[in-house]
A and B are shown apart, each in its own frame.
Chain A
């Protein structure tokens, strides 16, 4: 299934609920464009909810890393929420758990952003 993202705003945190696959082609491009649009419109606290993303390939992983760097370079924060087991396992074996702030509960995730 093609990647789809629905945006929500809770205070100054933008949550994007993704569903589908983050893979080479449309999925990766969709993630890239979403994060760029958010940064360009001044949103610097971004929470990517991946509850319905059960597939990510190396291109998708690269895009997540790129999103993280883009947000950080704009002095923002990007966090991940609700990883599925497959995405969790991929981030674990690629050691990206040491890079990303991965949250499992939305309220706690929102509170974890810097004031």
Chain B
């Protein structure tokens, strides 16, 4: 029988505290999914950067707006989605932070870190126009129906 997908949905306020909360939730899920400590750290950091992006650039710190985060454990992957209520953006519009001329910029490294720390990262347009960040990390071992690791 195919393993079921487990999913957590969280509606976050556009507050600084939501950054820590999102990071903490994703790290707990990653830990429970069996990721080693350093990978848990990287997943948490990628999610942190995703929510910082939503808080600062997407929702422009507007407390009326919300940030939707979903964390999914699929049989082979952990997928984290962060959706804001901003105007959205294209990845191609973002300057390369590694380019010589951008090294002294004080912002613009969050997306790079998400890409560096996850196995797959993409940005789509949300249903209402905001940015929809999708981060994927391959699970260390497949997860069975009861959420535990299958024996080798």
Contact = CB atoms under 8 A, between A and B. Distances in A.
Given A24-B19, A24-B52, A94-B112, A58 B107 contact: yes
A74 interface: no
A65 B131 CA distance: 27
Interface residues on A, range: 20 to 34
Nearest to B105: A65
Contacts of A61: 109
A57 B116 contact: no
A65 B112 contact: no
A96 B52 CA distance: 21
A58 B16 contact: no
A108 interface: no
Interface string B25-46: 0000000000000000100010
A1 interface: no
Contacts of A69: 104, 106
A61 B45 CA distance: 13
A65 B104 contact: yes
A24 B107 CA distance: 12
7 contacts: A23-B48, A24-B19, A57-B49, A58-B110, A93-B116, A94-B109, A95-B98
